[in-house]
Structures are given as structure tokens and as C-alpha cells.
Amino acid sequence: MKLNRNKLLLAMANACITIGELAEKSGVSRTALTKFTAGKSNPKPATIGKIAKALGIKVQDLIED
């Protein structure tokens, strides 16, 4: 399972949320989120779940097809 950084950025834009706010809501560190959005790292499935939950979307909306 691979996070699609463009889908993540789009979901953040739709939710009008910053990386800092997403870190607070999801419990995922700001540093990790920065790496994910830059495409430098890929999160574990549970972490993708935390991000999706914080954004109010499904995991399928964040992963590559």
C-alpha cells in the first residue's frame, strides 16, 4: 500500500488544513507528514488510516490505485 502524495495534498486542500493541524488531529508527527507530502517516505498502513480518519475520508482516497 503506497500513499499518493498528490491525493494527500488534495485532501488537505479540500479540508482547508495545514500540516501542523493534520499532525495535531491525526497524532502523526509534523516531521513524518512533511516527509510523506514530499514523497521522501511512505507511511505504514495504520498511519495512513490515522491520516484518513483525521481528514474524514477513506483510506482508498489516499493510496495509489
- Model-wide pTM > 0.85: yes
pLDDT in tens, 9-54: 999 999 999 999 999 999 999 999 999 999 899 999 999 999 999 9
- Inform me whether the pLDDT recorded for 65 exceeds 90: no
Query: Which residues are CB-neighbours of 35 under 8 A, at least 6 positions away?
Result: 41
Report d(CA 10, CA 29) in Å as an integer: 19
pLDDT of res. 32: 97
Render the burial of 28-61: b for 16+ CB within 10 Å, e for the rest.
beeebbeebbeeeeebeeebbebbbebbebeeee
Secondary structure (3-state) at 63: strand
